[in-house]
Chain A
Amino acid sequence: MRAVVWLVEGTWQGCLDAAAQILPPDARVTLLHVTPSDVGEVAEAATAGLLGRAFRVHRPVRRFEEVADQEALEILKAAGGRLGRENAELVHLRGRVEREVVGAVAEGVDLLVVARDGDRSRLGPHSLGHATRFIVDHAPCPVLLVWPDEPPGIDSIPPPHEPYREGR
Chain B
Amino acid sequence: MPGFVSETLAVLLLVAMLACAVARPRGWPEAVFAVPAALLLLVLGVLPLSQAGAEARSLAPTIGFLAAVLVLADLCDRYGLFEAAGSWMATSSRGRPVALLALVFVVASVVTAVLGLDATVLLLTPIVLTTVARLRLRAKPHAYACSHLANSASLLLPVSNLTNLLAFRASGLSFARFGAIMALPWLAAIAVEWGVLRRFFATDLVGRSETEVATPLRIPVFASAVVALTLVGFFVTSVLRVNPAFAALGGAVTLAVPALVHRRAKVRDIGFALDVPFLAFVLALGLVVKGVSLHGLSSLIVHLLPSGTSLGSLLLVAGIAAVLANLINNLPAVLLLLPAAAAAGPGVVLAVLIGVNAGPNLTYVGSLATLLWRRVLSQRGEELRTSEFLRLGVVTVPPVLLASTVALWVSLRLVG
Binding site for B on A (CB under 8 A): 8-11, 13, 36, 38-43, 45-57, 60-61, 63-64, 67-68, 71, 74-75, 96, 117-119, 122, 127-130, 132, 148
Known contacts A10-B208, A54-B30, then 11 further A-B pairs from the complex at CB < 8 Å, ordered by chain A residue: A9-B137, A9-B138, A10-B206, A43-B121, A43-B146, A53-B122, A60-B126, A71-B133, A74-B136, A118-B202, A118-B206
Interface residue tally on B, bucketed by range: 35 or more
Q: Judge whether B126 and A63 touch: CB under 8 Å.
A: yes
- The residue from B34, B129, B282 contacting A43, defined by CB atoms under 8 A apart: B129
Indicate if B101 sits at the interface (CB-CB under 8 A).
no
Residues in A with CB closer than 8 Å to B364 are 45-46, 48-49
Q: How far is the CA of A71 from the CA of B137 in the complex (A)?
A: 10
Highest count of chain A CB atoms <10 Å: which of B24, B130, B208, B384:
B130
Indicate if B150 sits at the interface (CB-CB under 8 A).
yes
- The residue from A39, A49, A57 contacting B140, defined by CB atoms under 8 A apart: A39
Q: Judge whether B272 and A56 touch: CB under 8 Å.
A: yes
Residues in B with CB closer than 8 Å to A67 are 130, 133-134
- The residue from A46, A48, A52, A71 contacting B373, defined by CB atoms under 8 A apart: A48
- The residue from A51, A127, A129, A130 contacting B30, defined by CB atoms under 8 A apart: A51
Residues in A with CB closer than 8 Å to B139 are 39, 64, 68
Q: How far is the CA of A43 from the CA of B147 in the complex (A)?
A: 7
Q: Judge whether B137 and A52 touch: CB under 8 Å.
A: no
In angstroms, how far is the closest chain B Cβ from the Cβ of A44? Answer: 9
Q: Judge whether A57 and B122 touch: CB under 8 Å.
A: yes
Indicate if B21 sits at the interface (CB-CB under 8 A).
yes
Q: How far is the CA of A56 from the CA of B29 in the complex (A)?
A: 9
Residues in B with CB closer than 8 Å to A57 are 122
Residues in B with CB closer than 8 Å to A46 are 121, 125, 146-147, 150, 364
- The residue from B118, B137, B147, B150 contacting A10, defined by CB atoms under 8 A apart: B137
Q: Judge whether B203 and A56 touch: CB under 8 Å.
A: no
CB-CB nearest in chain A for B373: A48
Q: Are A48 and B365 also in contact (CB < 8 A) when A55-B29, A64-B129, A75-B136 are?
A: yes
Highest count of chain B CB atoms <10 Å: which of A36, A50, A67:
A50
Q: Judge whether B130 and A45 touch: CB under 8 Å.
A: no
B267-312, CB < 8 A from A: 272-273, 275, 277-278, 281-282, 285
Residues in A with CB closer than 8 Å to B172 are none
Residues in A with CB closer than 8 Å to B134 are 67, 71
Q: Judge whether A129 and B204 touch: CB under 8 Å.
A: yes
CB-CB nearest in chain A for B363: A49
A-B contact pairs, 6 of them (CB 8 A): A9-B138, A50-B122, A55-B31, A56-B275, A63-B126, A132-B203
Q: Judge whether B130 and A50 touch: CB under 8 Å.
A: no
Q: Are A43 and B143 also in contact (CB < 8 A) when A50-B118, A75-B136, A129-B203 are?
A: yes
Q: Judge whether A10 and B202 touch: CB under 8 Å.
A: no
Binding site for A on B (CB under 8 A): 18, 21-22, 24, 27-31, 34, 97, 117-118, 121-122, 125-126, 129-130, 133-134, 136-140, 143-144, 146-147, 150-151, 202-208, 210, 272-273, 275, 277-278, 281-282, 285, 329, 331, 360, 364-365, 369, 373, 384-385, 388-389
Q: Judge whether B126 and A64 touch: CB under 8 Å.
A: yes
Q: How far is the CA of A128 from the CA of B285 in the complex (A)?
A: 47
Q: Judge whether A48 and B369 touch: CB under 8 Å.
A: yes
Q: How far is the CA of A71 from the CA of B208 in the complex (A)?
A: 15
In angstroms, how far is the closest chain B Cβ from the Cβ of A107? Answer: 24
Q: Judge whether A52 and B97 touch: CB under 8 Å.
A: no
Q: How far is the CA of A130 from the CA of B204 in the complex (A)?
A: 10
Q: How far is the CA of A74 from the CA of B133 in the complex (A)?
A: 11
In angstroms, how far is the closest chain A Cβ from the Cβ of B332? Answer: 8
In angstroms, how far is the closest chain B Cβ from the Cβ of A147? Answer: 12
Q: How far is the CA of A119 from the CA of B202 in the complex (A)?
A: 6
Q: Judge whether B126 and A42 touch: CB under 8 Å.
A: no
Q: Judge whether B126 and A117 touch: CB under 8 Å.
A: no
Residues in A with CB closer than 8 Å to B126 are 43, 60-61, 63-64
CB-CB nearest in chain A for B151: A49
- The residue from B140, B278, B329, B384 contacting A56, defined by CB atoms under 8 A apart: B278
Q: Judge whether A38 and B140 touch: CB under 8 Å.
A: yes
Residues in A with CB closer than 8 Å to B24 are 54
Q: Are A51 and B21 also in contact (CB < 8 A) when A38-B388, A71-B133, A74-B136 are?
A: yes
Q: Judge whether A55 and B331 touch: CB under 8 Å.
A: no
Q: How far is the CA of A64 from the CA of B146 in the complex (A)?
A: 14
Residues in B with CB closer than 8 Å to A118 are 202-203, 206
Residues in A with CB closer than 8 Å to B278 are 52-53, 55-56
Residues in A with CB closer than 8 Å to B273 are 56
Q: How far is the CA of A110 from the CA of B99 in the complex (A)?
A: 39
Residues in A with CB closer than 8 Å to B210 are 13
- The residue from B21, B22, B205, B365 contacting A45, defined by CB atoms under 8 A apart: B365
